[in-house]
Structure 1
Amino acid sequence: MNKTYPTAEAALAGLLFDGMTIASGGFGLCGIPELLIAAIRDAGTKNMTIASNNCGVDDFGLGVLLKTRQISKMISSYVGENAEFMRQFLSGELELEFNPQGTLAERMRAGGAGIPAFYTPTGVGTVIAEGKEHKEFDGRTFVLERAIVADVSIVKAWKADPAGNLVFRKTARNFNPPAATCGRVCVAEVEEIVPLGSLDPDHIHLPGIYVHRLIQGQQMKQIEQRTVRKREAH
C-alpha cells in the first residue's frame, strides 16, 4: 500500500467535505500540520468542527481557517494568543466546546482505542460538567465524557518511513499521537521520509497502522512567544 503523496492537496483529495470533523495535532505553534491546514484553506471546505488544543494564532496554523470563516465549531482547551478566535466566540460567530487539556487528550485517545466514553473527576462541579451524566465511584463523583472520532486526522511528525511509522521530535509530540489515532483517516506531514527498516522499532512513537497518507515538506516552524534575556553588562 503506497502511503506517500506528492503534495498536501493530493493527500487530502477525496477526504474533505463541508460539515466534517477534523482532529488536529499541535500545541500552540509547536508540532502543527501547517501544510495540511493550508491545503484545507485552499480547498474551501466549510462548516468544519475542529478538535485541537487551541487554534493557532491570527495568521498561522488553524487561525487561517478562522480568518476565512471555514470553522463553525472548535473543541479546544485554550483560546491562546488568537484574537480572532476570542472575537468570533464572544460575538457568537463560533461555537466553542471547552475541554480540560487532559480530558481532550483522553477523548481523542479513547476514540482511537474504540472506547465510546469514559468517566473522569476533572470538571465535576463546573460548567464543563453541566448536562452530562454523573456517577459515583468509591465515594467520589465522576462525569461521563464522550470519545472523539474524527472524519480525518491531520498531524505533524519529524520522521516517517514509507509504512507510515512516525517519530515526533521532543515537545512537538504533544497532541499528535492521540489526534492521529482518533481519525477514520489519518494524514501526516513530516520533515523527512527515511527508508523502510531504518527506524529503530523502539524509537517509533506511532505505528504506521494508524497512518493512511503521508507527505514530506518544508515547514516554517514559527515561534509563538519569543523571550530573550537582557544582555548582562561586563
Structure 2
Amino acid sequence: MDKVVAAAADAVADIGDGASLAVGGFGLCGIPSVLIDALHEAGVSGLKTVSNNCGVDGWGLGVLLRAGKIARTTGSYVGENKEFERQFLAGELEVELVPQGTLAERLRAGGAGIPAFYTPAGVGTQIADGGLPLRYDGKGGVALASEPKETRAFDGVDYVLERAIVTDFALVHAWKGDRHGNLVYKESAANFNPLCAAAGKVTIAEVEELVEPGELDPAEIHTPGIFVQRVVHAPDVVKRIEKRTVSA
C-alpha cells in the first residue's frame, strides 16, 4: 500500500518514447514541475500530452516542448509560448484544440469509464464540422486537418459527440498526499489535476506535504488513492507567477 517513490526520476522511469500523458495544471498553477523536469532529464521523446495548456517558454511543459520532446498536444489554450507557435506553424508539432469545458469532461469521462458523450459546445464550428488544422506543412498550408464528428439532435438541439480521454500516464501536483496515494489540492491549484489523475492508467503525484495514512480527513480528500499508483515528496517545489499584476 505504500506508494511513495524516493525520487522523481524513479517515478517516471518507465515512461517511454511515444507515451501519452495527462498533465495537471492551469497556466503555471498546480503544474507537476518536478515530475516534468525528471521526464526531461530522462530524455524520452515523441510524447503526446493532454493538458489545458503547454506551459510557457522554459517552464512547465514548455521545457519538454523546447527540447523537441512533444510530438502532439491536446489542449484549450496555446498563448504565452512563442516556441509553441513556432513549432506548430513550422509543422513540427501536432495540435488538437478543444473547448475548455469539453476537455475537462473528456478527461472526467475517461476516468469514469464513459467512452463518449454529447455536448453542444463546438456545434456549427470546425470542432464539429472538421477542417481544423492539426498540423501545418511549414509553408503556410495545412498538412493534416480534423475529421467531422458525429452530431445528433436531442429535443430540437444539436449536439456533437466527443470521445473520452484515457492516457498511458498522468502527472499531477497536490498540496498534501499520504502514502496510500490519497490527495488534497489547495484552492485553485486543483484545476485540471483531479481530472487528469483519474484519466491516467498510471498516475504519478508529486506532493508538497507527505503525511501518514489516516492523517487526512476523508471528507477533504479530492483524489482517492485508488486512482494513484506513485507518490513523490516534493517539498521545495518552485512556484512561478505567469503574469505579475502587482509590484514586488
Do the two structures share a fold, i.e. TM-score over 0.5? Answer: yes
Instruction: State whether structure 2 residue 164 is matched by structure 1 residue 162.
Output: no
SS in 1 for 2:109: helix
- Amino acid of the residue matched to residue 217 of structure 2? D
- In the other structure, the counterpart of 1:2 is 2
Identity value in percent: 58
SS in 2 for 1:10: helix
Name the CA distance, whole Å, in 1 between partners of 2:92 and 2:12: 27
Give 5+ residue unaligned stretches, structure 2: 131-147
C-alpha displacement of 1:229: 6.5
Correspondences of 1:7-26 after superposition (within 5 Å): 7-14=7-14, 16-26=15-25
Give CA-to-partner distance per residue, 1:119-159, whole Å, 9 cap, x none: 10000011111210011101001001111110000000000
Instruction: State whether structure 2 residue 211 is matched by structure 1 residue 212.
Output: no
- In the other structure, the counterpart of 2:31 is 32
Give 5+ residue unaligned stretches, structure 1: none
- In the other structure, the counterpart of 1:101 is 100
Name the CA distance, whole Å, in 1 between partners of 2:197 and 2:85: 27
- Amino acid of the residue matched to residue 175 of structure 1? F
Correspondences of 1:1-234 after superposition (within 5 Å): 1-14=1-14, 16-129=15-128, 130=130, 131-217=148-234, 218-228=236-246
SS in 2 for 1:155: strand
Name the CA distance, whole Å, in 2 between partners of 1:140 and 1:192: 47
Name the CA distance, whole Å, in 2 between partners of 1:169 and 1:2: 23
Name the CA distance, whole Å, in 2 between partners of 1:206 and 1:26: 15
Tell me if structure 2 keeps the 8 A contact 1:21–1:150: yes
- Amino acid of the residue matched to residue 127 of structure 2? I
- Amino acid of the residue matched to residue 10 of structure 2? A
| Consecutive aligned runs of 4 or more in structure 1 exceeding 4 Å deviation | none
Name the CA distance, whole Å, in 1 between partners of 2:62 and 2:28: 10
Name the CA distance, whole Å, in 1 between partners of 2:214 and 2:58: 39
Q: TM-score, normalised by structure 2?
A: 0.90
SS in 1 for 2:117: strand
Name the CA distance, whole Å, in 1 between partners of 2:68 and 2:247: 38
Name the CA distance, whole Å, in 2 between partners of 1:215 and 1:229: 34
C-alpha displacement of 1:90: 1.5
Name the CA distance, whole Å, in 2 between partners of 1:164 and 1:77: 28
Tell me if structure 2 keeps the 8 A contact 1:28–1:80: no
Name the CA distance, whole Å, in 1 between partners of 2:205 and 2:214: 19
C-alpha displacement of 1:13: 2.3
Name the CA distance, whole Å, in 1 between partners of 2:27 and 2:116: 27
C-alpha displacement of 1:55: 0.6
How many aligned positions are there?
Answer: 229
